[in-house]
Amino acid sequence: MNGIIQNPILRGFNPDPSIVRVGDDYYIATSTFEWFPGVQIHHSRDLKNWQLLGQVLDRPSQLDMRGAPDSCGVWAPCLSHCDGLFYLVYSNVGSFDGVWKDTPNYLVTAPSIHGPWSEPVFLMSRGFDASLFHDTNGKKWLTNMMLDHRAGKFFGGIQLQEYDPLQQKLVGEVKHIFAGSELGFTEGPHIYQHNGWYYLITAEGGTEYGHAVTMARSRDIVGPYELHPQNPIISARNYPDAPLQKTGHADLVCTQHDQWYAVYLAGRPLSARGRCTLGRETVIEQMEWRDDDWLYPVTNQKTTRLQVPAPGLKEFSVRPIAELDNFTAQTLSPQWQSLRVPVTEQWLSLSERKGFVRLKGRESLSSTREQSLIARRVQAFDIEASCKIDFSPKNFQQLAGLVCYYNTGHYLYLYISCNELTGQRELHLINCDNFVVAEPLQTPIILPPYGEILLKVEWHQSDVQFYYSNAESCDNERIDSENAKAWKKVGPVMDGSILSDDHVREMSDRYRPAFTGAFVGICCQDLSGMKLHADFDWFNYREFSIPDNADQLNHNDEYHQVSEQGV
């Protein structure tokens, strides 16, 4: 048994964790926003080692996000289990600009965490962050934050209403049970029972550097609720040097041995209170009930440790995630996700050319409808990603390549296209920042008229450098990126920190939701509508670690390769 849990437990963009224990198994559901399929599920048996099982919402009837704005879609899922059935509540946010917000909430159920998951039951659209609580008296209650558009208020407190599983709908009066504390921005409610009390945990202070975990309690589920005497119980808002920032949006779990832990989101900035390119991640901290019937961190500190004592459960074996994906399987690995719509044979095929993934060009990287893009989370500060591509464009409107992506207005893209006047294949590089596209290359790089090309990106902290190589310089007996000889730099070092929530908010002339994280992947566009395809032979993702004694916020440039571990 290993006694230490290393934070974060779910690295990279994995926010708004909802945790449930079923027997000896622990499951965490996290938000996926505009990425499809919706709601990531991780599994563990020791709270330390976590395996990605996949995603829950895998068909449009459960999750229709076509046209959804950036950082809308799936918000704050709540995973619970009662009487042999898994329950998953989620919001599918359709719009968030201006005073009006469209936030329908749904419920799906399944007999197993692996499914099959039901068709959704509509619950309400009064707000978001809905949570289902199973009372010991047999009743089920839905809590949610209430949207209040009047006079720019936005956050209207926490509501409660009974859910009838037989009628599959909310019934009875809507109760307003909690107005929030002085921290404001009250959201993310969860209810628990302990020692004769109902406890309400909420996220407050906004999901940036003022984020916090608030606790209140009542003898009656409808209130009134009194605040914790040391509210907030978890927050880095007053600790700018803490390595784990933005801590909030918590959920609780009790182990088989009556040990209590909280899981919640956090950000790891590149510098103190700086940008968090890895997005909001999931962390854990040990908690304890004290004689006053209030819950506290065992450290009696509001900040979160990088290393947390484990509960002493048997070590859970996790299958390492392969660095190299050579696309020989019949389906994509769960690491891959698409934007807003599911993967179908209409735009992605693993069978039309064996050993390749074929992407059929569709709309631009600015599209919120039909992109031919698959990508995976960036989960470390120092990574390398590469691919081998076979693409024969006929004109400048046909593009395909390697992309570092945050949203439709922020990405770095190395791609192959064609000059229809000369007939030459060309390599281009673009930097899209706040929807403004710049081309760092003064002139495009001329490529051989046909054949495969290797593309690579090295991303260290905020520095992003792209490379390319002709496939002929690669040892054909091995197809990983290490064998690509004579890598040539493409363009200057670029700023990868623009692919962060923080930068997106800084640059916007109006409020835009920015809640995801950086991805790296492959894509193909055919702006002419002819659906010309690009074939990718393989994709390789590697992480690097820094020396153990390096500063948490100032990583040493001397790094060594490590195999990626499943999380």
Going by CATH, does the domain composed of 4-309 fall within 1.10.10.10?
no
- Residue extent(s) of CATH 2.115.10.20 domains in the chain: 4-309
Q: Region of 270 please: left (phi>0), alpha (psi -120 to 50) or beta.
A: alpha
Which of 34, 46, 70, 187 is the catalytic position?
187
Q: Is the pTM of this model over 0.85?
A: yes
The predicted pLDDT at position 509 comes to: 64
Enter the DSSP assignment of 473.
Answer: G
For CATH 2.60.120.200, the residue range(s) in the chain are 324-562
One-letter amino acid at 169 equals: K
Whether 482 is catalytic = no
Residue 564 annotated among the catalytic residues of the structure: no
Record: fold of 324-562: Jelly Rolls (2.60.120)
Quick: pLDDT tens for 77-96: 999 999 999 999 999 999 88
Digitized pLDDT (tens) for each residue of the chain, 567 residues in all = 469 999 999 999 999 999 999 999 999 999 999 999 999 999 999 999 999 999 999 999 999 999 999 999 999 999 999 999 999 999 999 988 878 889 999 999 999 999 999 999 999 999 999 999 999 999 999 999 999 989 888 899 999 999 999 999 999 999 999 999 999 999 999 999 999 999 999 999 999 999 999 999 999 999 999 999 999 999 999 999 999 999 999 999 999 999 999 999 999 999 999 999 999 999 999 999 999 999 999 999 999 999 999 999 999 999 988 999 999 999 999 999 999 999 999 999 999 999 999 999 999 999 999 999 999 999 999 999 999 999 999 999 999 999 999 999 999 999 999 999 999 999 999 999 999 999 999 899 999 999 999 999 999 999 999 999 997 655 443 444 455 568 999 999 999 999 999 999 998 766 678 999 999 999 999 999 999 999 999 999 999 975 443 344 433 333 223 322 222
Calpha distance 360→363 (Å, rounded): 10
Q: What is the spatial distance between Cα 548 and Cα 174, in angstroms, rounded to a whole number?
A: 52
b or e along 65-97 (b: 16 or more beta carbons within 10 Å of the residue's beta carbon)? beebbbbbbbbbbbbbbbeeebbbbbbbbbebe
pLDDT tens figures, 394-404:
999 999 999 99
In contact, 215 and 294? CB cutoff 8 Å = yes
Catalytic residue (choose from 16, 58, 426, 501): 16
Look at residue 383 and give its three-state secondary structure. strand
